[in-house]
Amino acid sequence: MGKIAFVFSGQGAQYTGMGKELYDCSPAAKAVFDMADSIREGTSAQCFEADKEVLNRTVNTQPCVFTVDLAAAAAVVEKGIKPDYVAGFSLGEIAGLGFSGMLSYEEAFKLVCKRGELMDISANERKSTMVAVLKLPPEKVEEIAAKFEDTYPVNYNSPAQTVVATSEENADKFAEAVKAEKGRGVKLAVSGGFHSPFMNSAAKGLGEYLENISIGEPNVPLYSNVTARPYGSDDFSKDYRSLIKAQVISPVQWQKTVENLIKEGVDTFIEVGVGKTLSGLIKKINGDVKVFNVDNKETLDALDI
224: left (phi over 0), alpha (psi -120 to 50) or beta: beta
Q: Return d(Cα 116, Cα 94) in angstroms, integer.
A: 11
What is residue 253's predicted lDDT score, i.e. its pLDDT?
98
Instruction: List the domains of the chain with CATH numbers.
Output: 3-124+196-302 (3.40.366.10), 128-187 (3.30.70.250)
CB atoms within 10 A of CB 221: 20
User: What is d(CA 113, CA 136) in angstroms, rounded to the nearest whole number?
Assistant: 35
Q: How many CB atoms sit inside 10 A of residue 145's CB?
A: 23
> Which element (helix H / strand E) includes 134?
strand 128-134
* pLDDT, position 189: 75
pLDDT of residue 234: 73
Mutual orientation of helices 168-180 and 138-145 as an angle, nearest 10°? 130
Give the span between the Cα atoms of 175 and 135, in whole angstroms: 13
Q: How far is the C-alpha of 262 from the C-alpha of 19, rounded, in Å? A: 29
Smallest CA-to-CA distance from 112 within 130, 91, 96, 132 is with 91
Angstrom distance (rounded) from CA 124 to CA 305:
44
Residues in the chain: 305
Rounded Cα gap, residues 18 and 298, in angstroms: 13
The pLDDT value given to residue 258:
98
pTM of this structure: 0.95
Catalytic residue positions, numbered: 90, 195
Q: List per-residue pLDDT tens for the chain, 305 residues long.
A: 699 999 999 988 899 999 999 999 999 999 999 999 999 999 999 999 999 999 988 899 999 999 999 999 999 999 999 999 999 999 999 999 999 999 999 999 999 999 999 999 999 998 999 999 999 999 999 999 999 999 999 999 999 999 999 999 999 999 999 999 999 999 987 889 999 999 999 999 999 999 999 999 999 999 999 999 999 987 666 789 999 999 999 999 999 999 999 999 999 999 999 999 999 999 999 999 999 999 999 999 999 88
Q: Quick check: 76 and 303 in contact, CB under 8 A?
A: yes
Distance separating alpha carbons of residues 200 and 126, to the nearest angstrom: 11
State residue 235's pLDDT score.
Answer: 66
Q: What is the distance between the alpha carbons of residues 70 and 91, in angstroms, rounded to a whole number? A: 12
pLDDT at 215: 95
CA–CA gap between residue 93 and residue 11 (Å, rounded): 11
